[in-house]
Structure 1
Amino acid sequence: MSSVSIASLIDQSYTMKSFNYLEPAKTDAATFITIMKEADQIGVVAFSTRSRILYPLTTIQSDHKTIYDAINEIKKIQPINMTNIKEAISQGHDILNNAGNPNRAMILLSDGIWNEGGDPLIGLPTDIPIYTIALGDRGQCNFLQEVARRTYGQYHFSPDAFELAEIYNQIADDASVATIAINQKQLIDSYRFTTLPLYVPGGSDHVSLAVNWLDESVTYTTGTPGENQVNILLRDPDGQKIVMPPTFMGNGFVTFHLHDPKPGQWTTGCWCGNMRQNIFRATVGAFEPNSTIKLNCKLAETKMNCGDCLDIKTALESSKDEIGNVIIKTTLESPVNSKDYVLEKYEDEILNTEPDEELMKKGINEIDAKLNTLHKKLLPNVNIFARRQSPVHAKYSQDGVEHEPIKLDVPGNHTIRVDVEGTILRSNTKFTRTRRLSVNVK
């Protein structure tokens, strides 16, 4: 892949802390940078009432200094004040104007509505794609989707902080940082381990493996994991255990870069000690920076109303090798209930609930602020924003991929995930590809 220039725009308004989003967001944004390649460029902007450049656009060198410097600045972010998205986009655009790479993109992460600086859609620059991430559905999801649509980026929805790492992994693929082969959440009990197959196709000269987790108090170890510790397992196709220090390591993440890996089925996984919360929540991402096999997915239409049918355009392309034995699996994740249904069912409880003051300050109406307070109060026994997963029939042929029409019968955010497994026929080695994208339905 050619080199890219990325501006990461991170919401540091106070509600990011009140929803427990800020620390995971910082970890996931930091992990994203460790996936980037030499000659890529990274810049970081943090925004609240005002926007500021945390880290100027800088070219990544082989000594890794740029990556660690950018991560250190991200980790310093603290919550404060309101949300000025317009100024953040302007600053991100400014620093990319002087980018040394033709491929440029912004990543815009926010948990809610803009309430400072004016409407970001007025005068929105459209020459650089913006990949937007809506953290939770309390804010202006339609607005963030429109920003992505107008700039030819991609809108992503994260119902909670745990989903966020998957989205950053996907954006690494969207923005041409690296092709994603694995993007998988892991829920592991204390004293347990899980494994995932990692297929390295023939001809791969570089594979990256990134693992990050929600609880930053969990530490990484190369030995038997003890109290609140995790070990990342890695075995080559011959079953030999690979013992190597992470290329990058920080609070809540490790990233390994494997150069000239042996083709075949590797094994990776997480081995847990006694977890403080009795469960380990992690996301495993595997990336191929120089792959010639690409899974492309897009929605024919993003402005959708309840009752419309979703049309997914999917193509699996190989610019070098013939592929076969393709298996495709598609899943739709949707809200269980509409907001109107929830408001009616919990009418009495909402009436007697004090609204979340921080949301009120940010401009969210009283009913939605009360609904958010009730949601947190009822967890974990009842999730009034529960989501469901449904399989979607898909068929692969040499002419392309066909998905059955999907009728969207509930308003809210819907996420489509497409997973593909296949074989490179010349080398008889397997590969995997995965993709996720979201749409907000009125």
Structure 2
Amino acid sequence: MTDVSVSVVAMLDVSGSMWQAMPMVIIDGKAFIRSARPADQIAVVKFQSNASMVYPANQALVTVDGQMTVTAAAAAAIATLTSGGSTDMGDAVNMAAAMMAGATNATKAYMLLSDGDWNVGPNPNTVMPADVPVFICGLGSGMSQSYVSGMLSKNANSRYIASPNAYQMMQVFNSIRGLAAQAAVPTNVIQAYSGTDYSLTPVTIAGTSDEVQFSVVWSDASISYTSGQPDANHVNLVLIDPSGHSTPYQPVIADPGYAIFALNAPQTGVWQILTQYAVANPLTGTHAGFEYDTVLHLDLKTPTMVSQGSGFTIRADLTDAGAPIENAAVSARVTRPQFELPAMLARHREAIARHQDANPDHSPHAALKAVLEQTAPGVEHFPYASTYVPLVQAEDGSYQAEVGATETSGAYNVEVIAKGASTKSKTIFSRTGRSTVLSEAPET
């Protein structure tokens, strides 16, 4: 197997409409960058009324060193981000493309986080290059279907994954990390932390990878990792090996809000992440595993966009060194919007206009969210509902399922989980994948 190093430019929206999500943008952005490995190349761009560098100061990719001082410096720069201004996404894309021209790794990717449309600067559809895939994390419900599909159309490997809420953002970042680095993601789940308690998260590690990461990211940077018994505002993490024994492994990176373990040649089987915590206020944690340089892959395919009322097909290609894996248990959770965003925007048009007069940096969607929270605080104004669908193996070896009519417009999130045993590599495995299908309302 050949090691895959990746060159990644992260583009982060810090416009005025991102103000509520900024604490999670900082934690998750830092954790995403800190998961980079030696020989990866990274850079971080922010965009608001204009685009500018976050890390490094000059416009160039930086190669991650063995001591991880590069990712530490990048994380420190991300920690200083604040929100404000408009959304100049196009210039961020131009900056990213200029840096990517100097990339020396064969695998390249852009990561783009935004909560809405660009409203100043060049059109990102026009300037998005075709030679490098872009992985888009759409926060909330305000992403424009037209320009998302336009950017994705430039490269067949590009993907869009929606994050309805800020606390779910790290799950999307984990999926993007796996796609960008051609790594497998065996586990990618959210856990709730409350009071003094513990949780166990299973992570099935296949016998085809010599390098594994375990990542835990929690939603409050005032909570720190501790190697001992957790007291007030601390989290303790222990890796339990497949034989059920607690291991002495410590995180290679432990910063406020997250911790990352890196293991070489790990034992095959079901590991457990034991999370012990003592927190004053409830919070969430995103627990994930990554297998690098593996031959066992899940390739999830869904359409980018469908017309409202149409259904769509979920296809999962589950392979071992390119050959289909048979008799796996594959299922999908499909999360559907239970609201019509265009109708909500129209219904509250006057209140949105008043809010935008006072907050000109806020997008219509951000203004709608603020208006609804002011009129009915504590209510879920953008509800989603989930259904579970089994995928059946087809004659060509892929696993497929049909999703019925998309009754409402908006983002339909698909999360696929595949578990089984490969007779070729003679190992058990678990794989996860995420995608988003945009249901487009007819023009009126």
Normalized against structure 1, the TM-score is what?
0.91
Q: Which letter maps to 1:86?
A: G
User: Cα 1:295–1:369, aligned 2, differ >3 Å: closer, same or farther?
Assistant: closer
Q: For 1:60-139, what aligned pairs fall within 5 Å after superposition?
A: 60-139=64-143
CA distance in 2 between counterparts of 1:206 and 1:320 reads 20
Is 1:289 aligned with 2:301? no
- Structure 2 counterpart of 1:204: 209
Is 1:357 aligned with 2:356? yes
Q: Is the 8 A contact 1:169 1:285 kept in 2?
A: yes
CA distance in 2 between counterparts of 1:269 and 1:337 reads 37
Q: Is the 8 A contact 1:132 1:156 kept in 2?
A: yes
Is 1:45 aligned with 2:48? no
CA distance in 1 between counterparts of 2:325 and 2:249 reads 32
Aligned with residue 431 of structure 2, among 415, 418, 433: 433
User: Cα 1:95–1:214, aligned 2, differ >3 Å: closer, same or farther?
Assistant: same
Is 1:244 aligned with 2:249? yes
CA distance in 2 between counterparts of 1:352 and 1:22 reads 24
Q: Which letter maps to 1:98?
A: G
Q: For 1:160-239, what aligned pairs fall within 5 Å after superposition?
A: 160-239=165-244
Q: For 1:339-418, what aligned pairs fall within 5 Å after superposition?
A: 339=341, 342=344, 355-357=354-356, 361-362=360-361, 364-365=363-364, 368=365, 371-377=368-374, 381-396=378-393, 399-418=397-416
- Structure 2 counterpart of 1:159: 164
CA deviation after TM superposition for structure 1 residue 123, in Å: 3.7
CA deviation after TM superposition for structure 1 residue 363, in Å: 6.8
Q: Is the 8 A contact 2:253 2:261 kept in 1?
A: yes
Q: Which letter maps to 2:124?
A: P
The number of residues matched between the two structures is 432
- Structure 1 counterpart of 2:260: 255
User: Cα 1:362–1:114, aligned 2, differ >3 Å: closer, same or farther?
Assistant: farther
Secondary structure of 2:125's aligned partner: coil
User: Cα 1:319–1:208, aligned 2, differ >3 Å: closer, same or farther?
Assistant: same
CA distance in 1 between counterparts of 2:67 and 2:304 reads 42
Q: Is the 8 A contact 1:329 1:419 kept in 2?
A: yes
Unpaired runs of at least 5, structure 2: none
Q: Is the 8 A contact 1:108 1:133 kept in 2?
A: yes
CA deviation after TM superposition for structure 1 residue 246, in Å: 1.0
CA deviation after TM superposition for structure 1 residue 320, in Å: 7.6
Q: Is the 8 A contact 2:333 2:414 kept in 1?
A: yes
RMSD: 2.4
CA deviation after TM superposition for structure 1 residue 309, in Å: 1.3
CA distance in 1 between counterparts of 2:146 and 2:277 reads 39
CA deviation after TM superposition for structure 1 residue 352, in Å: 6.7
Secondary structure of 2:23's aligned partner: helix
CA distance in 2 between counterparts of 1:358 and 1:287 reads 46
Secondary structure of 1:69's aligned partner: helix
User: Cα 1:427–1:280, aligned 2, differ >3 Å: closer, same or farther?
Assistant: same
CA distance in 1 between counterparts of 2:93 and 2:210 reads 36
User: Cα 1:292–1:213, aligned 2, differ >3 Å: closer, same or farther?
Assistant: same
Q: Is the 8 A contact 2:13 2:113 kept in 1?
A: yes
Identity between Structure 1 and Structure 2 (%): 25
CA deviation after TM superposition for structure 1 residue 9, in Å: 0.6
CA distance in 2 between counterparts of 1:40 and 1:419 reads 28
- Structure 2 counterpart of 1:35: 35
CA distance in 2 between counterparts of 1:354 and 1:405 reads 37
Q: Is the 8 A contact 1:328 1:421 kept in 2?
A: yes
CA distance in 2 between counterparts of 1:352 and 1:320 reads 54
User: Cα 1:354–1:246, aligned 2, differ >3 Å: closer, same or farther?
Assistant: same
Q: Is the 8 A contact 2:223 2:235 kept in 1?
A: yes
CA deviation after TM superposition for structure 1 residue 377, in Å: 3.1
Secondary structure of 1:125's aligned partner: coil
CA distance in 1 between counterparts of 2:210 and 2:296 reads 14
CA deviation after TM superposition for structure 1 residue 415, in Å: 0.4
- Structure 1 counterpart of 2:13: 11
Q: Which letter maps to 1:293?
A: L
Q: For 1:296-311, what aligned pairs fall within 5 Å after superposition?
A: 296-299=299-302, 301-311=303-313
CA distance in 2 between counterparts of 1:375 and 1:68 reads 39
User: Cα 1:396–1:14, aligned 2, differ >3 Å: closer, same or farther?
Assistant: same
Normalized against structure 2, the TM-score is what?
0.90
CA distance in 1 between counterparts of 2:403 and 2:425 reads 36
Q: Which letter maps to 1:6?
A: V
